[in-house]
Amino acid sequence: MVFLKERVGKIMHYFDRIGVAVIELEGNLSEGDSLSIEKDGNAFEQKAASMQIDRKPVKSAGKGEAIGMKVLQAARPGAEVYRITG
C-alpha cells in the first residue's frame, strides 16, 4: 500500500502546559484525518481530534484558518503538518 502525504499546515505555537498546538492551515482538515507532524527529522503521527477555533469545538477547518488542536507530543513552532492518505 502506498501512503501519500499532503501538507495541510504549519505549527505556529505550542502550549506545553496543556499540550495544544496552534496550526495555521494551508488546506482542509477534518476530525479523524491521519496526520504526521514533522520538524528537523523528528516526526510523530496521530489522528486529528479535539480541534477548536476561538475556543469553540469544530469538526473541520479550511485554508487560512488557525486551529488549536490537542497533540500527543510536544510540537515545535515551524513543524509541518501533513495529512496521510492511502
pLDDT by residue (tens digit) across 5-36?
Answer: 999 999 999 999 999 999 999 999 999 999 99
Residue located via cell numbers 485554508: 63
**Is the pLDDT score of 1 beyond 90?**
no
Report the Cα–Cα distance between both ends of the chain, in Å, rounded.
7
DSSP 3-state assignment of 32? coil
What's the CA angle centered on 70, arms 69 and 71, to 5 degrees? 110
CA–CA dist 44, 37 (Å, integer) = 6
The whole-model pTM stands at 0.94
Q: What is the pLDDT of residue 7?
A: 97
Q: Where are the domains of the chain?
A: 4-85
Q: Which CATH superfamily is domain 4-85 in?
A: Translation factors (2.40.30.10)
Q: What is the dihedral of CA 5, 68, 45, 25, to 10 degrees?
A: 10
Written as nine digits, the cell of 67 is 486551529
CA–CA dist 72, 6 (Å, integer) = 20
